[in-house]
């Protein structure tokens, strides 16, 4: 399993716990070990640009996910025999927005960041929250994974 982590912004964030959490999400979802993905921390300006360009929404957001393969929830990425690792996608997180959301919700910044990592990766793995039934499933998965690291879903 290969998690590429890049921090391109100024809010202090500890990388190691987020990378370990990303690995845990993949393990908990029974994803093969020969996958790779990226977690990128970006500025509010960067994420606002991506949000406008790819989601047709204005302004910054907390997390955006860009899957490379179109998976259904619970589906495992297909492996190419003797091929390179399977890239599943990229998760962009804006710690500046996450910090503001955490403050507004009264939860620790680290807990909200953990939720964004889990949430973003679940989107890469086909989970969504557009309708209530899907949202319940996704939120339940988030809560289960966060519980493994002693956190509750805010």
pLDDT at 79: 80
* Domain span at 68: 2-148
C-alpha span between 135 and 71 (Å, rounded): 16
pLDDT at 152: 86
Judge if pTM exceeds 0.85. yes
In a domain, 131, yes or no: yes
Joined tokens for residue 71: 């998976």
Count of structural domains, the chain: 1
In a domain, 153, yes or no: no
In a domain, 92, yes or no: yes
Full 3-state SS string of the chain: CEEEEEECCCCCCCHHHHHHHHHHHHHHCCCCCCEEEEEEECCHHHHHHHHHHHHCCCCCCCEEEEECCCCCCCCCCCCCCCCCCEEEEEEEECHHHHHHHHHHHCCCHHHHHHHHHHHHHHHHCCCCCCCHHHHHHHHHHHHHHHHHCCCCCC
Residues linked to residue 65 through DSSP beta bridges, in sequence order:
91
Q: Would you place residue 148 in the very low, low, confident or very high pLDDT band (cuts 50, 70, 90)? A: very high
Joined tokens for residue 83: 């091929």
Of 37-46, 93-102, 123-132, the least confident: 123-132
The domain that holds 101 is classified in CATH as 3.40.390.30
Q: What angle do CA 59, 5, 16 make, to 5 degrees?
A: 115
In a domain, 154, yes or no: no
| Res 154 pLDDT > 90 | no
In a domain, 102, yes or no: yes
In a domain, 45, yes or no: yes
In a domain, 65, yes or no: yes
| Mean of pLDDT over the chain | 95
C-alpha span between 44 and 50 (Å, rounded): 10
pLDDT digits (tens, 9 = 90+) for 108-129: 999 999 999 999 999 999 999 9
């Amino acid at each position: 399993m290969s998690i590429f982590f890049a921090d391109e912004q100024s809010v202090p964030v500890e990388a190691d716990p987020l990378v370990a959490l990303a690995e845990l999400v993949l393990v908990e979802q029974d994803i093969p070990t020969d996958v790779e993905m990226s977690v990128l921390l970006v500025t509010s300006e960067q994420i606002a640009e991506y949000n406008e360009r790819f989601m047709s929404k204005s302004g910054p957001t907390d997390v955006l996910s860009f899957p490379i393969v179109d998976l259904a929830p619970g589906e495992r990425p297909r492996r190419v025999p003797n091929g390179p690792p399977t890239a599943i996608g990229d998760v962009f997180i804006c710690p500046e927005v996450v910090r503001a959301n955490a403050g507004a919700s009264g939860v620790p910044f680290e807990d909200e960041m953990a939720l964004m990592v889990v949430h973003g990766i679940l989107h890469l793995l086909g989970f969504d929250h557009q309708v209530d039934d899907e949202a319940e499933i996704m939120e339940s998965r988030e809560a289960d994974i966060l519980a493994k690291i002693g956190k509750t879903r805010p």
